[in-house]
A = this chain, B = another copy of it.
């Protein structure tokens, strides 16, 4: 089952994957970078999306849908309340949805559907939050908005490769969770801290 149709279908996925990777790494990246990363030409992109803005809207929408999906899954979790909440936090961090939504918003004019999904996502997140507070596992003086900003802070971490970045985000998520959880206490932090090499690399030009 090969042929141009199959190739095209494969490119659909290839392009979206590349776009996600490129724009989460750098929201201002040129569209040519996406094409290169996907291993296709520019026209393969423009055949699918009429403009860069359209592509960004698609990515942002997908990110929002992923966010909603993860949140709904957390709401369906009937196990230990803290574990449900913690799993939710880890899921959002893994999905890198903050990079796909906030970071891309503002770089284009939002559609009406985006607004609706965003509102829905916000509702669901609030529900998850309140459950955790009601169960007495989440400190009550933080709000869902606080958690949203926490996600953004974690998304701002970019160090080394994709793998290492993910490790570090989880490390600082774990640290934050120590401050979030009731009763207070320190749990072991995952992964290992940044090395001097990690940090000093950023002083060198041409990243």
Q: Which residues of B contact A156 (CB under 8 A)?
A: 152-153, 156
Identical chains in the assembly? 2
Which of A154, A156, A196 has the most B CB atoms < 10 Å from its CB? A156
Could you mark each residue 166-203 of chain A with 1 if its beta carbon is under 8 Å from any beta carbon of chain B, else 0?
00100110011111101011101100011110110011
**Interface size of A as a range:** 35 or more
- Judge if A21 is at the interface, Cβ distance under 8 Å: no
- Judge if A135 is at the interface, Cβ distance under 8 Å: no
Q: Could you tell me the distance in whole angstroms from the C-beta of A149 to the nearest C-beta in chain B?
A: 6
A203 to B177, CA, bound (A): 28
Could you mark each residue 140-158 of chain A with 1 if its beta carbon is under 8 Å from any beta carbon of chain B, else 0?
0111011011101110110
Find out whether the CB atom of B148 lies under 8 angstroms from the CB atom of A203.
no
- Judge if A115 is at the interface, Cβ distance under 8 Å: yes
Could you mark each residue 99-136 of chain A with 1 if its beta carbon is under 8 Å from any beta carbon of chain B, else 0?
00010011011100011001000100000000000000
A78 to B194, CA, bound (A): 29
A106-B175 CB under 8 A given contacts A146-B193, A153-B156, A156-B156: no
Find out whether the CB atom of B193 lies under 8 angstroms from the CB atom of A168.
no
- Judge if A207 is at the interface, Cβ distance under 8 Å: yes
* List of 6 A-B pairs having minimum Cβ-Cβ separation, nearest first: A156-B156, A179-B179, A178-B179, A153-B153, A143-B193, A145-B194
